[in-house]
Structure 1
Amino acid sequence: MVEPSNIEEYVKKEDFDPSTSSGQVRKEGDWKDKLKNFIESKYFVLVVIILLSIIAYSLGRISGLENKRPEVKIISENLGEVKGVSSAEQAPSTTNSSEVVVGSKNSNKYHYPWCAGAKQISPQNLITFNSIGGARAAGYTPASNCKGLK
């Protein structure tokens, strides 16, 4: 058991915070004091500069991601006239650009004009059809590497 004369050695009256009713022990270096000391220190400016640079970098990355997406451009190209049909027999060009398909003289496959296979066809071998039905009537079948063909 501890003798009353030794109690003053371990516990001092000033260690208790009188503002609390529960009598909690006041810690040396209260958080408010620590914050005040940190703000007044030479490291505060360094920490603020580092945090601001991280925030600015993050905002730049976020805004840069929005600009990377390319715009979708619809380019209407004149691919030539349909072989085997005279210009007098051709219907007025009211066809949808999505219905136009192209094929090659050397193949029996048809493609949309924007497909990779259609871009490899040389201009002298290129045949343009106003519809998928026209390409099928000419004996052409859809290319397997062109998405969306039936």
Structure 2
Amino acid sequence: MAEAKGKNITALPEDAIKHLRITSIWTFLFSIEWSEPWLIGLLIGHLLCLLVTLVTFRFYRLQILHFLVLVGLVYSAEYINEFAAMNWRSFSKYQYFDSNGMFISLVFSVPLLLNTVAIVTAWVYRTFTAMTELKALQVKRKASKQKKEN
């Protein structure tokens, strides 16, 4: 037992301390109580975001707007974290929102960033495809030009 400011405080057992330590991202994610309604809503929101990402592959301008919204949400994650840290009692059982932003980064920003990576990958693929088609047309025109000259 340890004594602090005149009160007797019993030390935590060694096993309890080991269970409180976060040793990896996975242990952190498994320590979250995913049955809370707001977390279920967040997961549903991420699934809808993924669906919108997949649907917008056919609509380039809508995809640009979706991309900008995603980047804006990731940019504002720090402000959302601060607001949620001040008001967590109104929607959550536990205080997940730490000053380092680990929770909001893993649960909010990473899924959004994965969507943006998918969009950028699609844009790079489209660009390479267009460049390849353009080069093939240039080669055909040059060949037909040379054929006409000969």
Q: What's the TM-score, normalizing by structure 1?
A: 0.31
Identify the structure with the greater helix proportion: 2
Q: What's the TM-score, normalizing by structure 2?
A: 0.31
